[in-house]
């Protein structure tokens, strides 16, 4: 679909593996403010393509928390669980131009970084069950500029000669789904946590193979606990208290090095209006600068 080059479309794309916590609020808030500051559209996409990792009811809780924090999105939420046909079309397109191969490596015989051991792509038909991988030519290098992290250069072909786009268990891989959906939703800038920076080269390579536009990227620092581990449900990050939305938003703004809105602003919506007007990624640190005490 042709896009108006001047219109900004951003998105927040949570996986429903648990409720929102302060770390995920920071990513949601950064993408919201970046979009609203430019007068753009802000979409929410629920990345529910990995049922074994998901928590029942988490999608609903995430959406409720976003609303409670005044982070109101545009249009309907896109659920990746409804997008199988689009992912199959993309896999067909990759297969037709000869970029896919079946791989039946097990964890025990995989190569470095989870790559294929190297023999599967020569054996033709795999013995089921097998994953589908995209082959990356050895000379492939991906360069891009990140608004916060600066110039990035990845020797993708040397570092990761292939990567999975459909898993052995038949589930679509995050790398494939995110590229297909960012294109379909017309996303012009991806604002997300810096833990996903290393996925970006794979996504740009897939965009190139599929003829998709490459959006701009802004990877904001992720919150970590006292030991440098990402603040996450696995590391006992407490769920956001939706009744303390203004305090949560103020903490997230502090972490993103944004000016604090006046203390008289006492609703999430009023606070967000002020934060939207003053939004600037200029002073944002590239890596974590706020350690929280380790829990449990
Ligand atoms: N669903 C991913 C996550 O929750 C984020 C994907 C993205 O922003 O590209 O970590």
In whole angstroms, how far apart are CA 167 and each of 70, 117, 149?
37, 16, 30
Which tokens in the block code for residue 54?
A: 């998901």
Determine whether the shortest distance from the Cβ of 203 to ligand 1 is under 6 A.
no
- Determine if ligand 1 sits within 6 Å of the CB of residue 215: no
Mean pLDDT (the chain, rounded): 91
Find out whether 12 and 63 touch, Cβ atoms under 8 Å. Answer: no
Are 270 and 211 spatial neighbours (Cβ–Cβ below 8 Å)? Answer: no
Whole-number Å distance, alpha carbon 144 to ligand 1 midpoint, is 19
Phi and psi dihedrals of 52, rounded to 5?
Answer: -60, -25
pLDDT tens string 171-219? 999 999 999 999 999 999 999 999 999 999 999 999 999 999 999 999 9
pLDDT in tens, 180-193: 999 999 999 999 99
Q: What is the pTM of this model?
A: 0.92
Asked if 145 contacts 218 with a C-beta cutoff of 8 angstroms, the reply is no
Ligand 1: distance of its center to the CA of 27 in Å? 10
């Amino acid at each position: 679909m042709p896009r108006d080059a001047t219109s900004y479309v951003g998105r927040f794309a949570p996986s429903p593996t648990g409720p929102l916590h302060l770390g995920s609020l920071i990513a949601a808030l950064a993408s919201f403010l970046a979009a609203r500051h430019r007068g753009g559209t802000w979409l929410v996409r629920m990345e529910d393509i990995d049922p074994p990792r998901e928590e029942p009811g988490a999608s609903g809780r995430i959406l409720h928390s976003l609303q409670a924090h005044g982070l109101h999105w545009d249009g309907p939420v896109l659920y990746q669980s409804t997008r199988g046909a689009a992912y199959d079309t993309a896999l067909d397109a990759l297969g037709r131009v000869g970029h896919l191969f079946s791989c039946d490596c097990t964890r025990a015989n995989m190569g470095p970084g989870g790559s294929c051991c190297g023999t599967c792509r020569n054996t033709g038909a795999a013995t089921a069950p097998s994953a589908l991988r995209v082959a990356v030519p050895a000379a492939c290098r991906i360069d891009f500029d990140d608004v916060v992290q600066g110039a990035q250069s990845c020797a993708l072909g040397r570092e990761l000669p292939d990567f999975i786009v459909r898993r052995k268990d038949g589930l679509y891989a995050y790398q494939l789904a995110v590229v297909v959906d960012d294109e379909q939703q017309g996303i012009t800038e991806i604002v997300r946590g810096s833990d996903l920076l290393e996925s970006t080269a794979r996504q740009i390579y897939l965009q190139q193979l599929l003829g998709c536009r490459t959006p701009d990227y802004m990877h904001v620092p992720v919150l970590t606990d006292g030991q440098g581990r990402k603040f996450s449900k696995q590391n006992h990050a407490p769920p956001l208290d939706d009744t303390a939305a203004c305090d949560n938003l103020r903490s997230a703004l502090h972490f993103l090095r944004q000016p604090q809105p006046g203390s008289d602003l006492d609703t999430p919506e009023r606070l967000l209006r002020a934060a939207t007007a003053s939004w600037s990624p200029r002073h944002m640190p590239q890596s974590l600068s706020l350690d929280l005490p380790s829990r449990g």
